[in-house]
Structure 1
Amino acid sequence: MKTTRYCFACDLKDDQQLIAEYDAYHKAVWPEILKSIKDAGISDMEIYRCGNRLFMIMETTPEYNPERKKQMDLSNPKVQEWENLMWNYQQALPFANPGEKWIAMKQIFKLAN
């Protein structure tokens, strides 16, 4: 199956206690959140952290549509609860638009096979 990769960046508030709490939440992501991710056509997702900078990699199926995912999330109370909770730990990148968390990253290098 053909997949598409998306990469995003976001920052956490630079507070070690908050960062530890954020890490803990991601060791036991709520099952409703995992279901919503899979239902949107996201076949794999990884989040990495360096200091307070986050990097997310998503692999998606052909069924994935970012606008559809956004609408699904807006209509899902559990996803909204999770997102509101995560805003306690996250902060927008300095160049983000108001309310924008995860910013799509531009690929600048790929090792050719």
Structure 2
Amino acid sequence: MTGTSPRQGRVCFTSQVRADRLNDYRAAHAAVWPEMLEALRDTGWRDYHLYLRGDGLLVGILETDDYDAAQAGMAATEVNARWQAAMSGFFADEGNPDEGFVILDEVFFLEGQLEAAGLPTRR
């Protein structure tokens, strides 16, 4: 997200899933509730991906115009309260899982540096 606030554009975060719940966590995300998918879309979450490492490290990447507003929008939905309650047993930290995300700073973006160097981004 070079040149922008870490709260807009591309956002990357980490969290920690309990190692003994990885299969259940994967299963829950293989069929996310349609109303949850709609709420994410409608509150500004785009191109949202979750990656899970074997020790439970969870990495999320999304695009949004305003991460704080997207988070607040989700917090105001009834479906998010139900989803967070259902997901709470999967995470190492107590509380709503979506409130414990650790936002990472972007330190390299290939296309941005190619563009800044006057190089084509695709061959």
Q: TM-score range by the shorter chain?
A: 0.7 to 0.9
Report the CA distance shift for 1:71/1:107 in structure 2 as closer, same or farther (over 3 A): closer
**Cα distance in 1 between the residues matched to 2:41 and 2:25:** 21
SS at match of 2:22: helix
**Cα distance in 2 between the residues matched to 1:73 and 1:5:** 18
Determine the structure 1 residue equivalent to 2:19: 14
Q: TM-score, normalised by structure 2?
A: 0.72
Please say which structure displays the higher CA radius of gyration.
Answer: 2
When the two chains are superposed, the root-mean-square deviation of aligned CA atoms in Å is: 1.9
* CA displacement at 1:40 relative to structure 2: 1.4
Report the CA distance shift for 1:47/1:100 in structure 2 as closer, same or farther (over 3 A): same
**Cα distance in 2 between the residues matched to 1:57 and 1:68:** 16
Deviations 1:2-53 (A, max 9, x none): x8111010110121xx110100011101111111111112221010111210
Determine the structure 1 residue equivalent to 2:89: 88
Report the CA distance shift for 1:33/1:14 in structure 2 as closer, same or farther (over 3 A): same
Residues 45 and 70 in structure 2, CA contact (< 8 A), matched pair in contact too: no
User: How many residues in Structure 1 have an aligned counterpart in Structure 2?
Assistant: 100
**Cα distance in 1 between the residues matched to 2:106 and 2:71:** 23
Residues 18 and 90 in structure 2, CA contact (< 8 A), matched pair in contact too: yes
Specify the code of the residue in structure 2 equivalent to 1:109: F
Residues 43 and 70 in structure 2, CA contact (< 8 A), matched pair in contact too: yes
Determine the structure 2 residue equivalent to 1:74: 75
Q: TM-score, normalised by structure 1?
A: 0.77
Structure 2 unmatched ranges of 5 or more: 1-7, 115-123
More helix by share: 2
SS at match of 2:30: coil
**Cα distance in 1 between the residues matched to 2:99 and 2:46:** 23
Determine the structure 2 residue equivalent to 1:54: 58
**Cα distance in 2 between the residues matched to 1:79 and 1:100:** 12
**Cα distance in 2 between the residues matched to 1:88 and 1:78:** 17
More strand by share: 1
Determine the structure 2 residue equivalent to 1:28: 31
